[in-house]
Chain A
Amino acid sequence: MGKTKMTPEEMSAKLDAVLATHKGEGQKALMSTLQQAQGIYGYLPLPVQKKVAEALDLSVAEVYGVISFYSFFSLKPKGETVFTVCLGTACYVKGAQALLEKIEESIGVSSGDVTKDGKYSISACRCVGACGLAPVILVNEDVYGRLTPEELPAIIAKYKEAD
């Protein structure tokens, strides 16, 4: 997800449209509403949580409780470019840890963090279901498989140039 090019007003309008479709549906619509909201904003800041709570007739605590339970929901914005290293078993056995360390070293932050300028973030995930290509990393939505640490600098450079 991560990247959006919308203005705050556009995002807000889009969220309102989503909320209108779920109005009053209560708890059972919470997960999908949050998924759609995060699709718009890239993460779930407090004002968004409040709007969701209001639309679904829930308390903010209930909404927060669900957000904090599921790792897919994020309370922090991600970088504009997100490097995700698969640490599923198939990838781990094929050396994914070394890939992660190499990416951390060249971006300069550790997994779970965002660079100060907000441009890059690194995260680890568990199996994207492309184990046949292990080890696998994702840069935003692009999948790179059968990787060796030696191939990483070229890939990282590609996204750094793109700025």
Chain B
Amino acid sequence: MDLFRAHVLVCCGTGCTSSSSPRIMEQFDQLLPQFGLDKEIKVVKTGCFGLCAEGPVVVIYPEGVMYYRVSPDDVKEIISEHLLKGRYVHRLMTMAVASGSAASGSFAAEDNSFFSKQLRIALRNCGVINPEKIEEYIAHDGYAALGSILTEKRDPFEIIQAIKASGLRGRGGGGFPTGNKWEFAAKVQNDTKYVCCNADEGDPGAFMDRSILEGDPHSVIEAMTIAGYCIGAHQGYVYVRAEYPIAVERLQIAINQAREYGLLGENIFDSGFDFDLDIRLGAGAFVCGEETALMRSIEGKRGNPTPRPPFPAVKGLFGKPTILNNVETYANIPVILRKGADWFASIGTEKSKGTKVFALGGKVNNVGLVEIPMGTTVREIVFDIGGGIPKNKAFKAVQTGGPSGGCIPASLLDTPIDYDNLIAVGSMMGSGGMIVMDEDTCMVDIAKFFLEFTVDESCGKCSPCRIGTKRMYEILSKITDGTGTMDDIKALEEVALALKNGSLCALGQTAANPILSTLHHFRDEYIEHVVDKKCRCHVCKGLTQYYIEPDLCKKCSLCAKKCPVGCISGVVGKETYVINPDACIKCGACMDACKFKAVVKK
């Protein structure tokens, strides 16, 4: 093997790929030979580093220097300065959205505050190895856990016991203990069983599972094979959402390589154990993330949930005992088995062990993927790792759990994150979307946003969910239009209760959570919409008036020329312009047009 003096890691996760990282790779490949460096320096295509907002990201080892927002044109300079002369390219080293210590000249990946509070277990290989090379996974202890299990022919129940002892709980949202799930399926007698992986990642605003599949697909393959051995299954399926083409491609490459290496297929490690994997694509139905619906979808049917019991461990895919786990859950398994249950159980809180990956997004400086030990507070994530709110705006809330979850307000910023604490504050862990909202985010509008989502995604099988979500959406529309009443708020709460009790699956049972939690923490905003007919964030159009400040108006007439309905009157140079609020359709054109910021929203 060649020895390289330096490694250049180029992030080729989805975020960076869409912002031209493939062209950066090409540039390195083209230019390194010209500088005579191609034998000394290795360029590695990696998965997501997590710092998506600063992408494309390039990291150079051994120094650990991170370059942000690199363009293909910067490559030449990086080579001639850094790689050839050892002089860092400082202009690419500061994060554009500067934050705390991250910006203060510290550049090694390890002492950037974005990384220092994190603990990477599930994401251990993401951004470190080339996901398209099985050798690199193996070089990072990959397939070691599977190898020792199969060559030593260890007792499946002993492995299941280790997973139980680690305290690992499902990362797909529910938080069900993974070891117990495996044990149920292992105890059921049947010649045919299945292992499934949930990579449907339906929470809009979450991309952890995608990054794991794109950055470290073999960890999922290894874990599913171990699961197969434990429960006695020989076939697995990974159900991936259709919107993730890069993830699907990398996973397929990984599956093919594992087959070539004899790590999938027949007689793995000469143990007599057979296991193979196939990919199944979703087709844009959120409800298919629900376990029974997912199995119907793999069977080629409409993805309607079915009542439980029977639980999938008894009667799942094609009527056979099946286990389903989330991508991140699986990604933890090989490390747990390698480093031991005690090690894993030593991380986290009493009832939630290990780490959780969050897709931190919204109104926060460092948008990206973060993995934190359970017990980290919301404040640490938003302000230390996330670098706070852009433009010095005030923090309002964090939303977790997507359309089934809720909001955590400023007063609860010090809540240590774990499954139980999040439920106690009226939200939930969910699969890991974490959206930060600032003073400009209207909480009623956000509740309406999630309800619109559930109305679209309700499968329609049971009426409380089908009709209830629609009713709640209509009421919220009334409130945001300015025609809501206090009775409407009461009605919301009543419908919410009916849904919780009467729906067949968790989609319906939790659909009201975004409303209930915003009503609980931000009731004053609802009342303002209903009683004062005011949206303090000027988001709800029905409650927003456009108005020209007479003192600021320079009488230039530009706004009147742009107004599509001609409702602005005045005389150029003589009379200040005024908007006729009754005719205004609130298009905002006047506000965009005015160069003097005289048009304001009230």
Q: Is the CB of B362 within 8 A of A94?
A: yes
* Separation of A26 and B300 alpha carbons in the complex (Å): 9
Question: If the complex has contacts A32-B280, A70-B285, A93-B362, are A87 and B300 also in contact, measured as CB distance less than 8 A?
Answer: no
- Is B53 part of the binding interface, using a Cβ–Cβ cutoff of 8 Å? yes
Q: Is the CB of B281 within 8 A of A31?
A: yes
- Is A127 part of the binding interface, using a Cβ–Cβ cutoff of 8 Å? yes
Residues of chain A within 8 A of B600, CB atoms compared: none
Closest A residue to B438 by beta carbon equals: A93
Closest A residue to B16 by beta carbon equals: A132
Question: If the complex has contacts A89-B449, A130-B14, A145-B15, are A35 and B281 also in contact, measured as CB distance less than 8 A?
Answer: yes
Q: Is the CB of A131 within 8 A of B284?
A: no
- Which residues in window 63-91 of A have CB below 8 A to B? 65-66, 69-73, 87-91
Q: Is the CB of A71 within 8 A of B284?
A: yes
Select one of B284, B302, B441 contacting A72, CB under 8 A.
Answer: B284
Q: Is the CB of B300 within 8 A of A29?
A: yes
Query: What are 11 A-B contacts with C-beta separation under 8 Å?
Result: A69-B459, A71-B285, A72-B284, A89-B449, A90-B205, A93-B435, A93-B436, A129-B207, A130-B18, A132-B53, A145-B18
Q: Is the CB of A143 within 8 A of B280?
A: no
Q: Is the CB of A35 within 8 A of B242?
A: yes
Closest A residue to B453 by beta carbon equals: A126
Select one of B19, B247, B286, B362 contacting A133, CB under 8 A.
Answer: B19
Q: Is the CB of B205 within 8 A of A131?
A: yes
Q: Is the CB of B19 within 8 A of A89?
A: no
* Separation of A30 and B433 alpha carbons in the complex (Å): 31
Most buried by A among B15, B18, B303, B367: B18
Closest B residue to A73 by beta carbon equals: B283
- Is B402 part of the binding interface, using a Cβ–Cβ cutoff of 8 Å? yes
- Is A128 part of the binding interface, using a Cβ–Cβ cutoff of 8 Å? yes
Which of A's residues lie within 8 Å of B, judged by CB? 26-32, 34-35, 65-66, 69-73, 87-94, 125-134, 136, 142-143, 145-146
Select one of A65, A125, A133 contacting B18, CB under 8 A.
Answer: A133
Q: Is the CB of B368 within 8 A of A89?
A: no
Min CB distance B70 to A, Å, is 15
Q: Is the CB of A134 within 8 A of B361?
A: yes
- Is B235 part of the binding interface, using a Cβ–Cβ cutoff of 8 Å? no
* Separation of A69 and B459 alpha carbons in the complex (Å): 8
* Separation of A93 and B402 alpha carbons in the complex (Å): 13
- Is B508 part of the binding interface, using a Cβ–Cβ cutoff of 8 Å? no
Residues of chain B within 8 A of A87, CB atoms compared: 204
Closest B residue to A29 by beta carbon equals: B300
Select one of B204, B280, B453 contacting A31, CB under 8 A.
Answer: B280
Residues of chain A within 8 A of B53, CB atoms compared: 132-133, 146
- Is B363 part of the binding interface, using a Cβ–Cβ cutoff of 8 Å? yes
- Is B52 part of the binding interface, using a Cβ–Cβ cutoff of 8 Å? yes
- Which residues in window 334-381 of B have CB below 8 A to A? 359, 361-363, 367-369
Q: Is the CB of A143 within 8 A of B18?
A: yes
* Separation of A131 and B207 alpha carbons in the complex (Å): 7
Select one of B284, B299, B361, B441 contacting A70, CB under 8 A.
Answer: B284
- Is B243 part of the binding interface, using a Cβ–Cβ cutoff of 8 Å? yes
Residues of chain B within 8 A of A130, CB atoms compared: 14-15, 18, 52, 207
* Separation of A69 and B282 alpha carbons in the complex (Å): 11
- Is B297 part of the binding interface, using a Cβ–Cβ cutoff of 8 Å? yes
- Is B201 part of the binding interface, using a Cβ–Cβ cutoff of 8 Å? yes
Residues of chain A within 8 A of B283, CB atoms compared: 31, 34-35, 70-73
Question: If the complex has contacts A90-B362, A129-B244, are A70 and B367 also in contact, measured as CB distance less than 8 A?
Answer: no
* Mask of B297-322 contacts with A, CB within 8 angstroms, 1/0: 11111111000000000000010000
Q: Is the CB of B449 within 8 A of A129?
A: no
- Is B129 part of the binding interface, using a Cβ–Cβ cutoff of 8 Å? no
Residues of chain B within 8 A of A145, CB atoms compared: 15, 18-19
* Separation of A73 and B361 alpha carbons in the complex (Å): 29
Q: Is the CB of B205 within 8 A of A27?
A: no
Closest B residue to A141 by beta carbon equals: B245
Residues of chain B within 8 A of A71, CB atoms compared: 283-285, 456
- Which residues in window 282-300 of B have CB below 8 A to A? 282-286, 297-300
Residues of chain B within 8 A of A30, CB atoms compared: 300-301
Min CB distance B541 to A, Å, is 10
Residues of chain B within 8 A of A127, CB atoms compared: 203-207, 243
Closest B residue to A31 by beta carbon equals: B300
Q: Is the CB of A132 within 8 A of B285?
A: no
* Separation of A26 and B203 alpha carbons in the complex (Å): 31
Q: Is the CB of A129 within 8 A of B361?
A: no
Residues of chain A within 8 A of B433, CB atoms compared: 89-90
Select one of A35, A66, A131, A146 contacting B206, CB under 8 A.
Answer: A131
Residues of chain B within 8 A of A91, CB atoms compared: 205
* Mask of B201-214 contacts with A, CB within 8 angstroms, 1/0: 10111110010000
Closest B residue to A33 by beta carbon equals: B300
Q: Is the CB of A28 within 8 A of B361?
A: no
Closest A residue to B214 by beta carbon equals: A129
Min CB distance A147 to B, Å, is 12
Residues of chain A within 8 A of B206, CB atoms compared: 127, 131
Q: Is the CB of A134 within 8 A of B367?
A: yes
Closest B residue to A94 by beta carbon equals: B362
- Is B399 part of the binding interface, using a Cβ–Cβ cutoff of 8 Å? yes
Select one of B19, B359, B446 contacting A131, CB under 8 A.
Answer: B359
Select one of A65, A69, A125, A131 contacting B285, CB under 8 A.
Answer: A69
Min CB distance A75 to B, Å, is 13
Residues of chain A within 8 A of B363, CB atoms compared: 93-94
Residues of chain A within 8 A of B205, CB atoms compared: 88-91, 127, 131
- Is B437 part of the binding interface, using a Cβ–Cβ cutoff of 8 Å? yes
Q: Is the CB of A31 within 8 A of B297?
A: yes
Select one of B14, B284, B303 contacting A129, CB under 8 A.
Answer: B14
Residues of chain B within 8 A of A69, CB atoms compared: 285, 302-304, 459
Closest B residue to A134 by beta carbon equals: B361
Closest A residue to B202 by beta carbon equals: A126
Besides the known contacts A87-B204, A133-B18, A133-B19, 4 further A-B residue pairs in the complex with CB atoms under 8 A apart: A70-B284, A90-B367, A129-B14, A129-B247
Select one of A27, A28, A93 contacting B437, CB under 8 A.
Answer: A93
* Separation of A88 and B302 alpha carbons in the complex (Å): 24
- Is B55 part of the binding interface, using a Cβ–Cβ cutoff of 8 Å? yes
* Separation of A65 and B285 alpha carbons in the complex (Å): 14
Q: Is the CB of B362 within 8 A of A89?
A: yes
* Separation of A124 and B362 alpha carbons in the complex (Å): 18
Q: Is the CB of A89 within 8 A of B402?
A: yes
Closest B residue to A26 by beta carbon equals: B300
Closest A residue to B564 by beta carbon equals: A105
Q: Is the CB of B302 within 8 A of A66?
A: yes
* Separation of A27 and B244 alpha carbons in the complex (Å): 24
Q: Is the CB of B367 within 8 A of A132?
A: yes
Q: Is the CB of A66 within 8 A of B281?
A: no
Residues of chain B within 8 A of A128, CB atoms compared: 14, 243
* Separation of A127 and B289 alpha carbons in the complex (Å): 15
Min CB distance B207 to A, Å, is 4
